[in-house]
Every structure is written in C-alpha cells, then in structure tokens.
Amino acid sequence: MKTEHVKRAYRYRFYPTDAQAAELSRTFGCVRKVYNLALEARTAAWYQRQERVNYNATSAMLTAWKKTEELAFLAEVSSVPLQQALRHLQGAFTRFWEKRGKYPRFKSKRKTRKSAEYTRSAFTFRGGQLTLAKMAEPLDVVFSRPLPGGAVPSTVTVSQDSAGRWFVSMLCEDPAVKPLPRLDAAVGIDVGITSLVALSRPVEGLSDARGKVVNPKFERKDRASLARAQRDLARKEKGSKNREKARVKVARVHARIADRRRDHLQKLTTRLVRENQTVVIEDLSVRNMVKTPTLARAISDASWTELRSQLEYKCQWYGRDLVVIDRWYPSSKTCSACGHVKGDLPLRERVFRCDRCPLVLDRDINAARNILAAGLAVTVCGDGVRPQRRPPGRQRSLKQKAQPAMAGIHPL
C-alpha cells in the first residue's frame, strides 16, 4: 500500500533566454485573457439566463475561441496553462457558492501576478533539467536546495514578480514532512510591534531572558532607499520607458524587504512548532487594525497574518496543536497570577501592575501567559478552537466558557 506524503512546493529562481522569456510572457497574457473571457461568459449566462456554466462548458468555449480569427493566438501557446486557468476559475466559483470567498474578479494586466501552471503532460523533468511545452531548451534553474530524493514534480508553476524576477515552483511529495514525536511543552504567543512576539516562556537562542523576540523592522531599515526610489518614480513621465525602469527599482526594494521578512518568519515559526506540542495565538482582525493611521505601517511590517499562516500549515504538517483564542479575551488586562481583570490599561503603560496581588510584569509577557492559560483551558474542556466573531456583550467569551477548566491551570 502506497503511503500518502505531504505535497510541498519548492520554489527556485531561474534565468530564461530571450526566446523563453517571450514565450512565457505570451503564455501569461493568454492565461489572463482566457480567465477573463470565461469569467465574462459565466457572469453573462447567470444574469441573462440564470444558468450556471461549469468547467466543461468553458473548456468547450476555449476550443471554439481558438478557431476564431480574433483569438487564434491562443493556439500558439501550450493549452495546459489555459485549461488550468479555467480550473482555477471553477475553484473560485466553488468557494463563492460555498460562501468561503467573494465573487471572482477580472485579472488586471498590471496588477495581477503573472503566472502559468503546467501539469505532467506539459513538461519533462529529467536529470535535474526542466523543459516546458513549446520550448526546445531546458530552463536555467538555480537549485538553491535539493528536491526530495526521487521526487518528480506533479505540477510546475512559472511566475514573474513585479521586480522582473523569474521563479519556478515545483509541487512534490515530501516524505520528510511527517508528524514529530509528541512533547509536553506549550507556548503562548502575543504579537507586537516593539517586539515581534512575546512568548509565555523564554526560548534559548530565540528570545531574550524575558521571552521577547526582537522585531527586525525590515521596512524601516530600507525606508530611506524606498523613499528615494519612489521620489524618482514620481518624477518620471507616465507611460515612458524611464518610468518603467524606475518602477522596477521600487519593486526591487519592496522585494528585498519581503524576502527578508519572510525568511525571518520561516525560521521563527519552524523553531516554535518543532519545540512545542501546543501553540496558542490570538485571533486578531489585522485588516481592521491596519486602518489605524499611526500603526498601519508598523503592523504591516510585522506581518502578523503571514506569521499565523505559517504556524497553521506547519502545525498541520508536524502533528502539532494550534489553538486560536477569542480576539475579545482581555489577555493584556488580566493578571496572569491571580486572574484579576483591570478596568483600564492604556497602551502607553508597558508594565502590568496588578491591583490585588504583588505581580509586576512586562505587559506583553503577562498577555502571552494569559493566552497560554486560555489555550490550555480550551484543550482541557474540549471547547472548539474557532474564534468568536462577536464581542462578549452579545455572546459568551472564551474565558467564560473555559472558566471551570482554568481553575487548576497555572499559565507557567
């Protein structure tokens, strides 16, 4: 019996020739065109005839489009990425019907990510060389890390970012990704701005003696160079070649910031998941928090959403438990020693001083310990981990539900 392994994407840079770059650029344009045509046809069918058009119908439309004089150029590129675009559109409609996503939107030429997906019938991978359909030569891929032994990609996605860099992502089964041995350790995480995260307990080599992980603030470090590049872009005439060159310079600065931030978060989340059986975080509405003008830039630089996303899939990979507690739980105002809840705690007060017991503790560390206690209470009483979407005034908070189980649990 064949063992099912986790499928993992391995992403590499590659450097196409002029002919390959031109072929891929045509493919990106055709993929976008087919997606938009199919979306337009499905939307018109629903509003005009109340008819749902499925993937098979759009595939038949694609065949007809290729035979027209106006869209004959669609037959000049590989048909597989075009079919995959229709499958992606079908998935978007499925998520919309199941109320897990918004109505699909048209792809913009300038704002949409340029990508094309190839399945096994449209590429060959032999001896470490990748050759795509409609191409005579293999791609010049820089393998910065090896693929799993004996792995053969099931799909290959080629993309180009706004900075002009080319990437190829190979989806393979990775036997090395499997549940790790169970541990007794657990950690609560309170995200922040001054410090990236505050942990309920210090981790050697990762945090300081209190349990705080330094926030690298990559955007602030490159803010001066980013401002210069943006000023240079603003001076260029719209539609000119010099403006395009200036735009690429701005995109390169953003790409450097994003790459450093992503690499730092990968190392942080991997360490937390490997060394703890239970990871507890808060459910934060980052989308609403970034609307605060004074904090939007710092919150975006901290990238809390990416931090949570990485914790979610890594816990799933390695058999760890991720508990997400209610966003309305007063973790900062609650004393981690006696449980007393303060009536008010301004953001400028960085030290928590309990009114009923002698506890004096860093505000973020106190919150992290309360988050851990609430998460352990959830696991003990068997309550669901889905975060509450309404304030405690309209429905019971997590603390109220888990209060009996928290009685005998110390946050340390």
Active site residue 364: yes
- In 3D, which of 311, 227, 322, 228 has the Cα closest to residue 271? 311
For residue 266, give both structure tokens. Answer: 């990968």
Collapsing DSSP states into helix, strand and coil, what is residue 352?
Answer: strand
* Continuous segment of H or E residues that includes residue 369: helix 363-381
Alpha-helical (H) ranges within 16-123 are 18-49, 55-66, 79-97
For residue 199, the surrounding DSSP H or E stretch is strand 195-199
Catalytic-role residue among 117, 219, 301, 364: 364
Pairing of strands 114-119, 212-214: unpaired
DSSP-derived pairing of the beta strands 278-282 and 321-325: parallel
Q: 3-class SS at 163?
A: coil
C-alpha closest to that of 24 among 69, 71, 78: 78
Quick one: tokens of 117? 């997906």
Buried b / exposed e over 221-246, threshold 16 CB at 10 Å, is: ebeeebeebeebbeeeeeeeeebeeb
Which residue in the list 23, 282, 301, 326 is annotated as catalytic?
Answer: 282
Phi, psi of 174 (to 5 degrees): -115, 105
What is the rounded CA–CA span in Å between residue 189 and residue 411?
12
DSSP code of residue 13? E
| SS3 state at 174 | strand
The rounded distance, in Å, linking the Cα atoms of 272 and 277 is 9
Which residue in 117, 190, 301, 326 is the catalytic one?
190
- What are φ and ψ of residue 110, in 5° steps? -100, -30
18 has catalytic annotation: no
Which secondary-structure segment (H or E) carries 124? Answer: strand 123-126
- Active-site residues, by number, are 190, 282, 364
